[in-house]
Amino acid sequence: MQNILFIIHSSPYGDEHFFSALRLALQLQEQHKSAVNLRLFLMSDAVTGGLAKQNPSEGYHLQQMLEILTAQGATVKLCKTCTNARGITESALAEGVEIGTLVELADWTMEADKVLNF
């Protein structure tokens, strides 16, 4: 089993970095279901991608993608410091998404076989 950590910094809808990260995570989960343990840690403006009640007018829907990942066993956490800075720590989160800490990210990094940054 490979532990793969995604660290996502990019804003959810400003460019396609966030979307590309989720596409790869979904493909890894689909293609290598029993061989990977996926963890995603959202930082900076990426934390807004973990909020509930997203309603994009067109294109991809990141909340749905995150919910698919968590339903299939991936762990998704938002940086608490980043959510605090943006005033969204108490906001409703997408299904399966949680608030995390830098301590957890440090542990996940040490446990990871691969770390991918987006």
pLDDT per residue as tens digits for the range 4-39: 999 999 999 878 999 999 999 999 999 998 999 999
Looking at the DSSP assignment, which residues form a beta bridge with residue 3? Answer: 37
State the Cα–Cα distance between residues 97 and 112, nearest whole angstrom.
Answer: 20
- Considering only the top CATH level, what class is 2-117? alpha beta
SS in 3 state form for 46-104? HHHHHECCCCCCCCCCHHHHHHHHHHCCCEEEEEHHHHHHCCCCCCCECCCEEEECHHH
Query: What's the pLDDT at 57?
Result: 72
Residue 14: predicted pLDDT: 79
Quote the pLDDT of residue 16. 92
Q: Tens digit of pLDDT for each residue in 66-102? A: 999 999 999 999 999 999 999 999 999 999 999 999 9
pLDDT over 80 (residue 118): yes
